[in-house]
């Protein structure tokens, strides 16, 4: 674990010490918990949703063709509903 030096206003130190005393914890322990909670709320840059990761994945593919044309070709052999 790495130690850090941080300058905090005296009012914040007093508040932090009071919270630590209420919870029976050290000031450092409270700060570690606060950083952990803050980190959990922040979106990680490499932690995108599957939609964000896959967006545009096939955009440069020229071997696929037009999706609408493909659907129409697949449906050509079907009997229209009004003829059933």
**Each residue's pLDDT tens digit, 36-66:** 998 888 766 667 778 887 888 888 888 888 8
Please report, for the chain, the start and end positions of each structural domain, with discontinuous segments joined by +.
10-79
The model carries a pTM of 0.50
Question: Under the phi-then-psi rule, with left for phi > 0, alpha for psi from -120 to 50, and beta for the rest, what region is 24?
Answer: left
- Residue 65 gets the label, from left (phi > 0), alpha (psi -120 to 50) or beta, of left
Ramachandran quadrant class, 64 (left: phi over 0; alpha: psi -120 to 50; beta: rest): alpha
């Amino acid at each position: 674990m790495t130690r850090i030096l941080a300058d905090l206003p005296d009012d914040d130190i007093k508040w932090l010490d009071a919270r630590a005393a209420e919870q029976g914890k050290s000031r450092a322990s409270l700060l570690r918990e606060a950083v952990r909670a803050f980190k959990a709320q922040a979106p990680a840059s490499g932690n995108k949703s599957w939609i964000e990761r896959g967006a545009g994945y096939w955009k440069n593919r020229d071997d696929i063709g037009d999706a609408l044309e493909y659907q129409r070709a697949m449906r050509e052999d079907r009997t229209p509903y009004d003829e059933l």
